[in-house]
């Protein structure tokens, strides 16, 4: 099978590329390299890279030629950026998604997997969050992702291809850039702890999240591209999380332990406006559709991530 991975030079995309190659698939990547930093890795793996914008129909059509499936991961994955520059992020996140879906339909691609987000649930606190929970997006980014799901559903129902949307919870792991404004709290905590810097917790630290290791995430995506996950007439939408709630305070201590910084100082700052208090995935559908849930514990995932950090000079 030949698979196009949009955003394949990025954090999650580069791990998906490795997972697909390891299963014997051919892989091509399209990425505008605005945030993707793993070009050297792709070259070492012998992966063809098309440098282009997913909102550019000509570039996407070129990249899709001869492909059997596409994993659409490319996006401006930043709530803050979407609030500051909503038209710019809409072009990447909505126009880009529709461009990929339309090109996939015209090129005869059989399967399309779309990276959505738990952000679509917004302030909904009916925990754990199941896929039929009310969507309450609080940002343009969340609205973009929900819109992408609706467009994917259109193509799926029309029979153009088989689609599957995955709502990612808090994904972490190696190659997540702690200096990026789009990075997650784990990469920042590990980076600061490894440098002997204090870990800054916004608010009281009692807020909770569902953290899921990147290799577990890409395993589910790869299996969906290979045909797992069912053949529903309606678009399958599936959470990817562990179904385990971890407080930010617990996370800070675990990150310090993973880096050996047992005396790391933890500081508190003001809570961020609009920050959701609790987020937790219901993984019932994930287990039903894929016969398992992500199995990497937070402790093991943190250790694996910390092992890849460059030691501070």
The set of catalytic residues is 141
Asked if residue 57 lies in contact with residue 95, where contact means CB atoms within 8 angstroms, the answer is: no
* The two three-digit tokens of residue 300, written as one number: 């093991």
Angle at 97 between CA 120 and CA 233, to 5 degrees: 75
Query: Which residue, among 215, 196, 205, 236, has the nearest Cα to 295 in the 3D structure?
Result: 215
Contacts of 301 (CB under 8 A, 6+ apart): 172, 173, 211, 213
Taking the C-alpha atoms of residue 167 and residue 48, their distance in angstroms, rounded to an integer, is 28
Collapsing DSSP states into helix, strand and coil, what is residue 238? strand
Place of tokens 């910084």: 261
Sort strands 246-247 and 208-209 into parallel, antiparallel or unpaired: antiparallel
In sequence order, which residues have a C-beta less than 8 Å from that of residue 106 and are 6 or more positions away? 61
């Amino acid at each position: 099978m030949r698979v196009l991975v949009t955003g394949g030079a990025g954090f999650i995309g580069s791990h998906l590329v490795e997972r697909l190659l390891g299963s014997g698939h051919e892989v091509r990547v399209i990425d505008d390299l605005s945030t993707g930093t793993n070009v050297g890795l792709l070259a070492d793996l012998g992966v063809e890279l098309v440098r282009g914008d997913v909102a550019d129909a000509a570039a996407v059509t070129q990249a899709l030629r001869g492909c059997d499936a596409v994993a659409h991961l490319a996006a401006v994955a930043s709530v803050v950026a979407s609030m500051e520059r909503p038209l710019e992020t809409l072009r990447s996140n909505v126009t880009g998604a529709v461009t990929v879906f339309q090109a996939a339909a015209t090129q005869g691609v059989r399967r399309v997997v779309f990276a959505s987000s738990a952000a679509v649930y917004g302030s909904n606190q009916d925990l754990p969050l199941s896929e039929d929970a009310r969507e309450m997006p609080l940002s343009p980014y969340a609205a973009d992702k929900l819109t992408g799901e609706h467009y994917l559903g259109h193509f799926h129902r029309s029979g153009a291809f088989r689609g599957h949307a995955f709502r990612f919870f808090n994904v972490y792991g190696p190659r997540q850039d702690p200096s990026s404004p789009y990075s997650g709290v784990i990469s920042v905590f590990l980076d600061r702890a490894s440098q002997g810097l204090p870990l800054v917790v916004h608010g009281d630290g009692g807020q909770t999240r569902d953290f899921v290791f990147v290799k577990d995430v890409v395993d589910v995506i790869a299996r969906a591209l290979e045909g797992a996950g069912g053949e529903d007439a309606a678009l399958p939408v599936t959470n990817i999380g562990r179904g385990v709630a971890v407080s930010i305070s617990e996370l800070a201590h675990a990150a310090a332990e993973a880096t050996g910084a047992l005396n790391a100082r933890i500081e508190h700052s003001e809570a961020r406006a609009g920050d959701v208090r609790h987020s937790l995935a219901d993984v019932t559908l994930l287990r039903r559709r894929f016969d398992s849930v992500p199995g990497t514990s937070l402790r093991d995932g943190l250790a694996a991530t910390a092992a890849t950090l460059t030691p501070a000079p």
